Amino acid sequence: MAWLKTLAETYDVYADLAGRNKNGQAVLLPISHSTFNAQIEVTIDVDGNFQDARKLEKGSDIVTIIPVTEDSAARSSGIAPHPLCDKLCYTAGDYTAYTGDDKEAYFDAYIEQLQDWAESGDTHPMVRAVYHYLKKKTLIRDLVASRTLELDEGGRLTDHAKLQGQGQTGANVRFIIFGCELPQEVWKNQELYQKYIRYYQQRSKADELCYASGQIEACSDKHPSKIRNSADKSKLISGNDESGFTYRGRFLSKEQAVSVGYETSQKAHNALRWLIQKQGYTRDESAIVSWIVNRDMPLPDIMKDSVNAYSNIDDFDFDFDMIDTNEMNDADRHDTGKYFAEQFHQAVNGYAGKIQAEDRAAIISLEAATTGRLSVVYYDELGGKQYMDAILHWQQHCKWQRTIKMGKSEEGKRRITCESTPSPRDMALAAFGVQRSEWLEAESKLIRATVKRILPCITQKGVRIPADIIRAAARRASMPQSMSDFVWYNDVLCVVCAMIRYNYHEEEGKSMDDFLNDNLDDRNVLFGRLLAVCDYMEQRAMFEYDESGKVKDRRITNAKRYWNAYSSRPAKTFQTIRQNLNAYERKLKDYEHKKFEEWIGEIMTQLGKLENGFDNAALSERYLPGYYLQMEYMKKSFQKKEQ
């Protein structure tokens, strides 16, 4: 229950934002309120006389905040009217006359409930106006007269005509009240929110112990849905099994299993819904969000790569849409990645300094357990500085140079090559993804399970990335022919190297800066370097370049053709690759041929020093950073020579 208590505390911090639209962001719902998508908007005056109506189209402002009861918020069948805005079958007293479908009981329950509010001490002129209009039972007649609804040839309201892609008879209706002042939308009126909250709180509820707050308060066994989005019917807390009695054997009643206060539940669910919509990750049927509990301070998005993790923080001192190349010196102008890293590092340090000692951070991950159930698969709460230290530790040690899209808006995003920590989803795709189109794809269930296992590595400093995930990614990287060059290199090889780098630091306390020299006694690394030499030798001999330096005709090298076999039987496969390179060596320039022979000789010498060094035992994943770093070293060596 810790997560419920923490979310309720979060709601109290942001309570002044309830029902208010701030900078176009998601709206924090007031207590006892929910949302629906409206299809019809009806305008009446303060005396309850019809003025006008209009259809609402998709893409317009159709999300409507509505007051709800416990029963109406949780309704799936039966009669449970919302107190003010609702479907036609509840609000239209002439629904049965126009459709032939007997819904009199629905309207009677709605109008009786609305009358009780309209005549209470917590009523509002808007409530009375809606009540006086709807009790006339002329809603559908007025909507037809204003051409908002269409009747068939027999004068019946049918579902042949559509509103936002659904039948007319199931349309949701909202109201605007026109009076001596400007027209007022009932779904935006702050005073109306508070009037309903006070009215509904006075209705009798049983006082019991709330397991979340530890207080005796009015409790509820019906809890909100629509947590991940407005169409989400899954619930985090539900106990409606009155026939199977799944709690029998442990408890006598469902209240003994869990009892949560109505207000606590409303605050917690509304805060969670708001946080997910505002700053959460919602993909692959899961929702993940992290936040500062005790004040309005955004946190980096741990579900993005380390660069874009800060893109939605307004006061982050970095321009994501433009790197000012005018400020670069001549040396940096040729290395945008280096200049970018310096500027970005300064911005990150400046942001981390704003986290205070008393700040509390929380992270929660949800996923669908069944069609109607959500489960909390990960929850953690820690100090703000402790959280940021863990994030910065992760971003500093689990990074690799790769090409990413950067920018705050989709239109402004552009590609940049820099050192970046892959997102958890990137890691899951590198391990289990298959390229079916332009990018890697994988089953959502597999991605969710993998991301769930990676989360503790980010938030709990020192937790290593599971070895089986790295091995799976290494197997994918060992099959370069199964995907395009860019996807293999950027989305698989670079990602698995970043994961290996993180565990290498955690296990041996070393950085990758001198990885090749530190591992002269590791046959896996040496064989990876040997593969890089063969690959680059063939590239230099085979590829023809145009005036701009781009490859005219890129063909697959022998190293990549035999890569998978090489990772399983390196010594035997190396001999095959080496023989196939004989024809290409003649095309090399003298200094190129000399350097490649020198590198091969050095690596073979080191392998010869090891017991069973040059044999056919399968390679571990460490051969991949050996390949990558040897390739980078050789490219820089030739660049210096040619300059």
Residue 466: exposure state from Cβ atoms within 10 A (0-12, 13-18, ≥19): middle
126-135, 173-182, 313-322, 370-379: range with highest mean pLDDT: 126-135
Which of 137, 118, 119 has the alpha carbon at shortest distance from 50?
137
| Helix axes of 590-609 and 523-542: crossing angle, nearest 10 degrees | 170
User: SS3 of 601, please?
Assistant: helix
- The strand pairing partners of 162, in sequence order, are 167
Number of neighbours of residue 484 by Cβ within 10 angstroms = 13
- Number of domains within the chain: 4
- Dump pLDDT digits (tens) for 416-456: 888 999 999 999 999 999 998 889 999 999 999 999 999 99
Cβ atoms 291, 272 nearer than 8 A: no
**Token representation of residue 86:** 């609702």
Cβ atoms 172, 87 nearer than 8 A: yes
Residue 355 confidence (pLDDT) above 60: yes
Cβ atoms 91, 173 nearer than 8 A: yes
Do 194 and 133 lie in a common domain?
yes
Instruction: State the chain's maximal CA–CA distance in angstroms.
Output: 98
Burial 82-121 (b: 16+ CB within 10 A, else e): bbbbbbbbbbbbbbbebbeeebeebbeebbebbeebbeee
State the pLDDT confidence band at 246, using cuts at 50, 70 and 90.
Answer: low
**Token representation of residue 267:** 């605050």
Residue 328 confidence (pLDDT) above 60: no
- Dump pLDDT digits (tens) for 380-399: 999 999 999 999 999 999 99
Do 541 and 443 lie in a common domain?
no
- The strand pairing partners of 551, in sequence order, are 545
State the pLDDT confidence band at 325, using cuts at 50, 70 and 90.
Answer: very low
Number of neighbours of residue 196 by Cβ within 10 angstroms = 24
Instruction: Point out the domain boundary residue: 215, 240, 273.
Output: 273
Do 305 and 162 lie in a common domain?
no
Do 401 and 524 lie in a common domain?
no
User: SS3 of 203, please?
Assistant: coil
Residue 165: exposure state from Cβ atoms within 10 A (0-12, 13-18, ≥19): exposed
Cβ atoms 492, 477 nearer than 8 A: yes
97-111, 250-264, 321-335: range with highest mean pLDDT: 97-111
The one-character DSSP state at 422 is P
Burial 593-617 (b: 16+ CB within 10 A, else e): bebbeebbeebeebbeeeeebeeee
pLDDT computed for residue 363 by the predictor: 95
Which of 273, 300, 294 has the alpha carbon at shortest distance from 366?
273
Instruction: Point out the domain boundary residue: 513, 539, 572.
Output: 513
Question: What residue numbers bound the domain in which 596 lies?
Answer: 514-643
How much is the average pLDDT of 467-479?
97
The one-character DSSP state at 551 is B
Do 108 and 250 lie in a common domain?
no
CA distance 442 to 449: 12
Instruction: Point out the domain boundary residue: 513, 544, 575.
Output: 513
DSSP 36-88: EE-SEEEEEETTS-EEEEEE--TTSS-EEEEE--HHHHT-SSS----SSSEEH
Do 41 and 162 lie in a common domain?
yes
The one-character DSSP state at 170 is G
Do 96 and 234 lie in a common domain?
no
Q: What does pLDDT average to over the chain?
A: 88
pLDDT computed for residue 554 by the predictor: 66
Cβ atoms 381, 6 nearer than 8 A: yes
Do 284 and 388 lie in a common domain?
yes
CA distance 155 to 133: 23
Which region holds residue 175: left if phi is over 0, alpha if psi is between -120 and 50, else beta? Answer: beta
Do 68 and 20 lie in a common domain?
no
Number of neighbours of residue 449 by Cβ within 10 angstroms = 16
pLDDT computed for residue 163 by the predictor: 92
Cβ atoms 209, 198 nearer than 8 A: no
User: SS3 of 537, please?
Assistant: helix
Q: What share of the chain is helix, strand, coil (3-state, %, to 5)?
A: 45, 15, 40
pLDDT computed for residue 414 by the predictor: 79
CA 416 and chain centroid, separation: 22
How much is the average pLDDT of 575-583?
91
Do 260 and 406 lie in a common domain?
no
Do 450 and 406 lie in a common domain?
yes
Residue 504: exposure state from Cβ atoms within 10 A (0-12, 13-18, ≥19): buried
**Judging by DSSP bridges, how do beta strands 40-45 and 184-185 pair with one another?**
unpaired
Do 550 and 421 lie in a common domain?
no
Residue 202 confidence (pLDDT) above 60: yes
State the pLDDT confidence band at 259, using cuts at 50, 70 and 90.
Answer: confident
Which of 447, 446, 299, 469 has the alpha carbon at shortest distance from 290?
299
pLDDT computed for residue 143 by the predictor: 95
Cβ atoms 400, 498 nearer than 8 A: yes
Which of 88, 5, 65, 12 has the alpha carbon at shortest distance from 188?
65
- The model's pTM: 0.87
pLDDT computed for residue 334 by the predictor: 43
Residue 329 confidence (pLDDT) above 50: no
pLDDT computed for residue 327 by the predictor: 44
The one-character DSSP state at 330 is H
CA 372 and chain centroid, separation: 20
- Dump pLDDT digits (tens) for 311-322: 888 888 887 766
